[in-house]
Chain A
Amino acid sequence: MKRLLTALLCILLLASCSANNAKNPVTREFFAMDTVMTLTIYSVRGADRAQAADEVVALVEQLAEDILDKNATTADEEEMMRWATEAYNLTDGMFDVTLAPVIRAWGFGTGEYRVPAADELQALLASRNKDDIDYGGIAKGYASDLASSRVLGGQSGNSSIADFGGNVCAVGSRPDGKPWRVAVRDPLNTESTCGTLELTNCAAVTSGGYQRNFTQDGVTYHHIIDPRTGYPAQSGLASVTVVCETGALADGLSTGLFVLGKERALEIWRENRDKFDLVLIEENGALTVTDGLSFTSDRAFEVAS
């Protein structure tokens, strides 16, 4: 009954929206890198928005295929490695692409979830090397950077927003000239959101333990692994949102800062406030936002400076 009402309501809402929106954007929804991706273009250089949308989809699909085949072009691989290294350096090594075999042992990525034995994890941690790395932790962010630099951005007046599986890339501003409004999900009640960010020309990425996890014998294990222990990170944070110019860096930072916890994350932000900003949500619900952001919420939050 409730579902029926919701469905009918949605249909009515969609009908009323399409009726009075004269300047409809070109949108695409596609599946790549294990996630649903959406693209909304209001204006783009060269003016052919449909062609631009097709170009972005092709670009992302090609990158996804190359990464899967370990066949990424040298330029893409170098760029991804560059941002992965920067994220590694900025997070005391907590974002680490060589953690791939440990993450696989837990079944994240393959879907065959299990709790590895402690000595197995120690052995995997000890044998990490540059020949077995996974760019999965920054690939979606990097894909949004490519879309923005090659197709969507680069000219004032461009207006589009891409959501690559939670890696939001905001090009320009809304067609009415106001900033894009991006809601941050409430990690403690994933049905709702806990505030809205106003963004122009930047990327935003959220990492949280609620996004991918499994439960065994009453214990929930999430996908953000602490490289020091091999176990899911327990830092007191429920989610970390990073806003930054580069999607790939935001992607890596959100993971690494989640592992480090609130205090260290804010310390690192204070040393690099020109590079990124943060929304931190703790497991007790406390909300902290760094002062470079324009954030609104109907609940109380602390502004870090």
Chain B
Amino acid sequence: MKKRKHTLEIIIAAVFLISSATALVIHLNRESRGVIGVYRDGVLLSTFTLDGIEPLDYEVVGENGEMNLVHIDSDGARMLLANCPDKLCVLHGKLAGNEPIICLPNRVVVKWLSAAELSAETASRTDATLP
């Protein structure tokens, strides 16, 4: 009897742990759907908040003449132009779903920022806080 009670406790604890782990994964993967980030070489170059944004073209230039032109409007983003050999990024079309636009040759990525990336970005924008 005593042993069974113990087993029950372990099950409850396990269910709790699994559900909290799932909650965490969901929390981290939930993309804000409102902010797009443009990366080159894994470094976040710029972020764009779509709410009320004026359509714009953002140019990413690499050291060896790599060039990508990202078009951003309130609907999302797409790769307008690129001088990469395969043009897969341009063929990707609109940034939709969770699939980021990737230009492998030029090492450029356009994606929705996750909540975690967004808060890291906000934190990195501030160097100190006056108490």
The yes or no answer to B8 lying at the interface (CB within 8 A) is: no
Considering the chains assembled together, what is the distance between the CA atoms of A40 and B127 in angstroms? 9
What are some 11 contacts across the A-B interface (CB < 8 A)?
A16-B117, A40-B127, A161-B127, A163-B128, A182-B127, A182-B129, A183-B128, A183-B129, A193-B126, A196-B125, A206-B130
Contact A181 B126 (CB under 8 A): yes
The yes or no answer to B18 lying at the interface (CB within 8 A) is: no
- A contact residues vs B (CB 8 Å cutoff): 1, 4-5, 8-9, 12-13, 16-17, 20, 38, 40, 161, 163, 165-166, 168, 170, 174, 180-185, 193, 196, 204-206, 211, 241
* List of A residues within 8 angstroms of B20 by Cβ: 1, 4-5
Contact A20 B43 (CB under 8 A): yes
* List of B residues within 8 angstroms of A184 by Cβ: 129-130
> Smallest distance from the beta carbon of A1 to chain B beta carbons, Å?
6
Considering the chains assembled together, what is the distance between the CA atoms of A182 and B42 in angstroms? 26
* List of B residues within 8 angstroms of A181 by Cβ: 125-127
Cβ 8 A contact of A185, one of B28, B117, B119, B129: B129
* List of B residues within 8 angstroms of A16 by Cβ: 116-117, 120
Considering the chains assembled together, what is the distance between the CA atoms of A5 and B120 in angstroms? 15
Known: A16-B120, A17-B120. Is A8-B130 also a contact (CB below 8 A)? Answer: no
> Smallest distance from the beta carbon of A285 to chain B beta carbons, Å?
17
Could you say which interface size class chain B belongs to? 20 to 34
A contact patch SS: strand
B contact patch SS: helix
Cβ 8 A contact of B24, one of A5, A161, A170, A204: A5
* List of A residues within 8 angstroms of B28 by Cβ: 9, 12
Cβ 8 A contact of A13, one of B23, B123, B127, B131: B123
- Which of the listed residues B24, B27, B129 has the most CB atoms from chain A within 10 Å of its own CB? B129
Within 8 A of A (CB), among B15-48: 20, 23-24, 27-28, 42-43
* List of A residues within 8 angstroms of B117 by Cβ: 16
The yes or no answer to B64 lying at the interface (CB within 8 A) is: no
Known: A8-B24, A16-B120. Is A183-B131 also a contact (CB below 8 A)? Answer: no
* List of A residues within 8 angstroms of B27 by Cβ: 5, 9
